[in-house]
Amino acid sequence: MANNVSLRSSVRLLRHRGEAHIDLAKACARALSENISPTLRQRGNTERDKHLEAAQRDLDAALGLAQSDTERAP
């Protein structure tokens, strides 16, 4: 019985962890899109686009990690 309770607790923790990663990634994306630095705006689209593309790759990786964590939990 104790192992069953421990397993259920672990599953809940994994699901919570995955949801937290997704929430964090979404919050980062929102902050990034809302707060592009004025310096990057002045430099033009090319440099800003490079930073946005790098941030998008990081966001995609974070979402992938969160989804795999969530999918692993039964």
- Tens of pLDDT, residue by residue over 18-74, are 666 666 667 766 666 666 666 666 666 677 677 777 777 777 777 777 677 666 655
Number of helical (H) and strand (E) elements in the chain, helices listed first: 3, 0
Q: What is the pLDDT of residue 13?
A: 57
Q: What is the pLDDT of residue 40?
A: 60
Is 6 a residue whose pLDDT tops 60? Answer: no
CA-nearest of 74, 70, 71, 67 to 7 is: 74
Q: What is the pLDDT of residue 49?
A: 73
* CA dist., res. 16 & res. 27, Å (int): 16
